[in-house]
Amino acid sequence: MTGITGIRQPKSMKNTNRSLLLGAAFLMATSAIGPGFLTQTTVFTEALLASFGFVILISIIIDIGAQTNIWRIIAVSEKRAQDIANDLLPGLGYFLALLVVMGGLAFNIGNIAGAGLGLNVLFGISPALGALLSGILAIGIFLVKEAGRAMDRFTQILGFVMIGLTLYVMFTAQPPVGEAVVRTFAPTTIDILAIVTLVGGTVGGYITFAGGHRLIDAGVKGKEAIPEVTKSSVFAIGIASVMRIILFLAVLGVVSQGLSLDPSNPPASVFLLAAGQIGYKIFGVVMWAAAVTSVVGAAYTSVSFIRTFSPALEKYHRWLIIGFITVSTLVFVSIGRPVLILVLVGSLNGLILPVALGVMLVAAHKPRIVGDYKHPLWMTIFGAIIVVAMAIMGVYTLMNGIPQLFE
């Protein structure tokens, strides 16, 4: 049986390749499943009810189109996104890296806050102390000798924990599954903003590059690796989508009973209403797991966008990741969640996907970057549609974020 090199490989090597592909998929998926993911899914389900299933379906299709394009081109070029961008147009990679690092830092502060809230629910400690402890744990992962493997295993374990516990809450909520299936294909309401929000929350910003850059670091690259890379990219979207669907059904079960969610913390109230105090504690675990894995993913991916700019950055990239997590933690612990300050920075995240995907699509047709690889025309067209749609919404978000800074 052949592996990613096209040569017959021993069983231990095949298992290693499978582990790397699975690790990259879970890194991307758990990066997407953060505090914002939980809140967005809950709020949109409460507003759209069963018709939110249609939003999830369309967003999954778009997510797969964006991610498979990006991961394939990264693998074929055997370079990270910022280096591809610089090869295409000198300086463009630095601009892309700036967007990713700024957006990643902004969202990481929110992720740290979510981790603190999760431990607050579980143990009654202050969110600040919970955030500090979570930050220390995340830093510990990158102090391990084999940090990449530790990161892969960490995200896989917590990914399964999140899905398993939310699945339990979904069953206790007793959702109208039949209605959800019908409305997924025949919605009574179609919300374009919800679709774009879900796409941005799943493959926007740094998230879609998490797994792609992880595979480059692990040596899974080249034209011969395309089948495995494509499978891994789709599997990653699948993991995030399974969590989204389970949470959607849990929320739908609660609101279909006529129960009202607490607007100050909608996801927590879903777990509480569905399964009582046990459900509330489960929410604490899910929130913490979602947040802390996103902290790891955001830090790793953000630094991966700058580590190739100089030998020194490459040599000390692990310490840069640790510094990234430290800064995110200290900002939250010392200042709290600086929402107004981060509005503009956070809204930049909406521009990263169209810029990055646009760069990738152009690069895919440059032989000096991808060699003799021929990118499928349908993937290029699909990707271009996503670029235009996300660019429009990204600009809209940015323009609405600026006035809030001065209110």
Q: What is the mean pLDDT of the chain?
A: 86
Greater pLDDT, 277 or 205: 277
Q: Once rounded to an integer, what is the mean pLDDT over residues 137-157?
A: 88
Confidence of residue 7 (pLDDT cuts 50, 70, 90): very low
Residue type, 315: K
Residue 380, domain extent = 16-404
pTM: 0.86
- Domain membership of residue 1 (yes or no) is no
What percent of the chain clears pLDDT 70, i.e. is strictly above it?
89
pLDDT of residue 407: 55
2 by DSSP, 3-state: which? Answer: strand
- Domain membership of residue 56 (yes or no) is yes
Confidence of residue 218 (pLDDT cuts 50, 70, 90): confident
**Residue 224: DSSP 8-state:** G
- Domain membership of residue 11 (yes or no) is no
- Domain membership of residue 207 (yes or no) is yes
Confidence of residue 68 (pLDDT cuts 50, 70, 90): very high
Confidence of residue 16 (pLDDT cuts 50, 70, 90): low
Task: Among 57-71, 242-256, 345-359, 380-394, name the one with the lowest average pLDDT.
Answer: 345-359
Asked if 53 and 248 count as a contact pair (C-beta separation under 8 A), the reply is yes
Q: Once rounded to an integer, what is the mean pLDDT over residues 244-265?
A: 92
pLDDT of residue 3: 42
Nearest to 298 by CA among 209, 168, 172: 209
Q: Once rounded to an integer, what is the mean pLDDT over residues 153-162?
A: 91
Q: What CATH number is associated with residue 166?
A: 1.20.1740.10
Chain centroid offset of residue 14 CA: 27
- Cα separation, 67 vs 236, whole angstroms: 9
Give the Cα-Cα-Cα angle 364, 366, 370 (nearest 5 degrees): 65
Asked if 303 and 325 count as a contact pair (C-beta separation under 8 A), the reply is no
Greatest mean pLDDT among 2-6, 66-70, 219-223 lies in 66-70
Nearest to 380 by CA among 83, 114, 68, 84: 68
pLDDT of residue 337: 53
Confidence of residue 46 (pLDDT cuts 50, 70, 90): very high
- Domain total for the chain? 1
pLDDT at residue 15 is higher than 60: no
Chain centroid offset of residue 86 CA: 24
pLDDT of residue 160: 92
Q: Once rounded to an integer, what is the mean pLDDT over residues 172-182?
A: 94
- Domain membership of residue 2 (yes or no) is no
- Domain membership of residue 26 (yes or no) is yes
pLDDT of residue 386: 87
- Domain membership of residue 8 (yes or no) is no
pLDDT of residue 403: 55
pLDDT of residue 75: 92
Q: Once rounded to an integer, what is the mean pLDDT over residues 248-262?
A: 93
Tokens of 29: 């998926």
- Cα separation, 231 vs 236, whole angstroms: 9
pLDDT of residue 343: 44
Residues in CB range of 173: below 8 A, 6 or more apart: 249, 250, 251, 252, 253, 254, 270, 273, 274, 275
pLDDT at residue 385 is higher than 80: yes
pLDDT of residue 6: 39
Q: Once rounded to an integer, what is the mean pLDDT over residues 162-179?
A: 94
Asked if 249 and 177 count as a contact pair (C-beta separation under 8 A), the reply is yes
- Domain membership of residue 3 (yes or no) is no
Q: Once rounded to an integer, what is the mean pLDDT over residues 358-374?
A: 92
Asked if 93 and 233 count as a contact pair (C-beta separation under 8 A), the reply is no
Q: Once rounded to an integer, what is the mean pLDDT over residues 368-384?
A: 92
Asked if 67 and 354 count as a contact pair (C-beta separation under 8 A), the reply is no
